[in-house]
Structure 1
Amino acid sequence: MLGADGVLIGTRFIATAESGAPHGFREAVVAADGDRTIKTTTVDIARNYHWPTGEFVARVLNNRFVAAWHGREDQLAEEPTLTAQGRLYWEAFHAGDAENTGVLMGEAAGVIQSVESAARVIEDMVGQAERLLADGPRRIVD
């Protein structure tokens, strides 16, 4: 209604019953608010993902892993730290340990209150859009 050409709804779909994300990630999204997220490169360093410098920075849950390494990215990237931390990162990821791995999520986590089916999420979005469009444009007053 405000002229958006699209939306990013990955965080919402992490917290769906059908999500391929580890179960601990779903609960982490529901429990988080937008203030629990942070932009950092720590997650990509631990995953050994290389992006063009300054081009991409992930927004993630500000958890134990991120708190330990954010601001110390150079140390994390050094061997043998990277190998050891990378192994711990992936172990925690596969275990669904949302405190000791990277959980990509946006600030929208603050409005996600439950794990729903993907179908329900889409039905709700379509229903909200239909109601807003039926109401027609509104004048915004300061």
Structure 2
Amino acid sequence: MALSTEFTELFGVQHPIALAPMGGSAGGALTAAVSRGGGLGLLGSGNGDEGWLARELPVLAAECAGKPWGIGFQTWAIDDGVVGRALEHDPAAMMLSFGDPSPFAERVRDSGTALILQVTDLEEARRAVDLGADVIVAQGTEAGGHGSGHGRSTLPFVPVVVDLAAPVPVLAAGGVADGRGVAAALALGAAGALLGTRFQATAEALVAPATAQAIVAGRGEDTERNRVLDIARASRWPAKYTARTLGHPFLDAWRDREDELAAAPHARQAYRDAVAQGTIPALPQWAGEAIDLITDLPSAADLVGRLAAQAEEALSRAGSR
């Protein structure tokens, strides 16, 4: 059974699977591997840092084997210049997440690049439809990394967005880490799934080995949404978007004391000192609730095919009952 959907047809890819453009960790090698594997790789450029892109784009170009790929940005952190420079590389898609995409939507569409908008609530979903998104990603609160602190879980959120956005194809995100999750996304009416944490635990991901191993060893109950680590590291992330991470010493020390931490420069300096000394990770360990299902560190190219095969098996098994 071939898993052909509006998403696979739009991009000419084999499988309804996309890489979440995780800032910094979804580099050129990982993006290319997902695309070579038959999914859609999305380069995680974050705020569009020119130095990072100058390093990763040549890797992507050398390794993607002519397959379609895209690029993703944190909408709140970019300007029109960032979008324009990215479009010069002719990505098949540009994904905008977390913030108001309206200043950039028309330029992306006019370029011929498909516009993918990630949404975390129904207000954002309605805006994405109004802006003419070619694909909408409905992110549930199970997702690793940043997302809405007041959103809905993936299971009830995705079908509501599917109904609201029709006929625009929707991808499910949040809590999908194996082929059964991909199958569930399709059963909910989505045209595919966008995976983040699962692809962090691959050979090509730009993460510290300790972080990859922590994901493999972790459990869903080890993760929680918080703003503590953004405040501690003086991140400019908007307060609306909390981050799901694995445990952390600063999280234990300052949980539910965000305002106090924000007013404590000595604590933020202590965080920087601990990072410099190597006693805490240089970055929070972003991870979603489905990490229990992650038990290995494969090549991302092989993983895409494995996820698709698992999804086909799950759908076939459900249909035979």
Q: TM-score interval w.r.t. the shorter chain? A: 0.7 to 0.9
Q: Equivalent residue for 1:51?
A: 237
Q: Equivalent residue for 2:287?
A: 105
Q: CA deviation at 1:109?
A: 0.7
Q: CA deviation at 1:81?
A: 1.9
Residue identity in the other structure for 2:258: E
Q: CA deviation at 1:76?
A: 2.5
Task: Determine whether 1:72 maps to 2:257.
Answer: yes
Which of 27, 33, 37 is matched with 2:219 structurally?
A: 33
Residue identity in the other structure for 1:18: E
Which of 88, 93, 109 is matched with 2:274 structurally?
A: 88
Residue identity in the other structure for 1:110: D
Q: Equivalences for 1:10-29 in 2 at 5 Å?
A: 10-29=196-215
1:42–1:128 distance in 2 versus 1, CA, 3 Å: same
Alignment deviations for residues 60-109 of structure 1 (CA, whole Å, 9 cap, x no partner): 002333212212223332213212313424654xx8x55x8521100011
d(CA) in 2 for partners of 1:42, 1:127:
39
Q: Equivalent residue for 1:119?
A: 301
1:29–1:126 distance in 2 versus 1, CA, 3 Å: same
d(CA) in 2 for partners of 1:90, 1:111:
33
The total of aligned residue pairs comes to 134
Question: What RMSD over aligned residues (CA atoms) do the two structures have, in Å?
Answer: 2.7
d(CA) in 2 for partners of 1:136, 1:128:
10
d(CA) in 2 for partners of 1:47, 1:110:
28
1:39–1:27 distance in 2 versus 1, CA, 3 Å: same
Contact 1:76 1:85 in 2 (8 A): no
Residue identity in the other structure for 2:205: S
Contact 2:232 2:267 in 1 (8 A): no
TM-score by length of 2: 0.37
d(CA) in 2 for partners of 1:41, 1:16:
27
Q: Equivalent residue for 1:131?
A: 313
SS at match of 1:39: strand
User: More strand per residue: 1 or 2?
Assistant: 2
TM-score by length of 1: 0.77
Q: Percent identity?
A: 34
Contact 2:233 2:268 in 1 (8 A): no
d(CA) in 1 for partners of 2:268, 2:248:
18
Contact 2:233 2:272 in 1 (8 A): yes
1:90–1:69 distance in 2 versus 1, CA, 3 Å: farther
Q: Equivalent residue for 2:247?
A: 62
